[in-house]
């Protein structure tokens, strides 16, 4: 074999290895992005479900019952989100990155609109749920 042919064969093998490596890297990167998106979605779902569950429990417990709940300022990865209550439709909604997750509530007798994050107080006053 000539030295030029060995060099050419080496370059071809190196190119094939590089193509395989880039393909594997691309697949791993895509799966990582999918994982991050799923993790973010699950975080939003957990916040919505925790809030709706707390609201429903307070509603079912009756007049005078109250509790507090902590809502994080951001989702995983420092993603901003908003929570809205839609009493006429019986759900709350967590919105983030033009996506949303809805969770059912049992009553329409509740403060509507958007509210702050952090420690919130939820109370039942004569069957009306107040969030402060």
Sequential pLDDT tens for the chain (132 residues): 566 677 888 889 999 999 999 999 999 989 888 888 899 999 999 999 999 999 999 999 999 999 999 999 999 989 999 999 999 999 999 999 999 999 999 999 998 777 789 999 999 999 999 998
Cα torsion 68, 73, 78, 81 to 10°: value is 100
Write down the number of H helices and E strands in the chain.
Answer: 1, 7
The owner of tokens 């998106």 is 37
Separation of CA 97 from chain center: 10
Sheet containing 91-96: give its strands across. Answer: 99-104, 91-96, 82-86, 113-114
Rg (CA), the chain: 26
């Amino acid at each position: 074999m000539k030295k030029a042919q060995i060099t050419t064969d080496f370059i071809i093998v190196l190119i094939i290895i590089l193509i395989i490596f880039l393909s594997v890297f691309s697949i791993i990167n895509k799966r990582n992005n999918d994982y991050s998106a799923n993790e973010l979605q699950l975080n939003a779902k957990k916040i919505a479900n925790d809030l709706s569950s707390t609201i429903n429990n307070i509603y079912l417990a009756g007049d005078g019952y109250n509790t507090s709940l902590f809502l994080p300022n951001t989702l995983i990865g420092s993603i901003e989100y908003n929570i809205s209550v839609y009493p006429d439709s019986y759900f709350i909604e967590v919105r983030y990155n033009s996506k949303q997750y809805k969770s059912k509530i049992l009553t329409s007798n509740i403060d509507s609109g958007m509210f702050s994050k952090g420690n919130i107080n939820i109370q039942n006053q004569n069957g009306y749920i107040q969030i402060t």
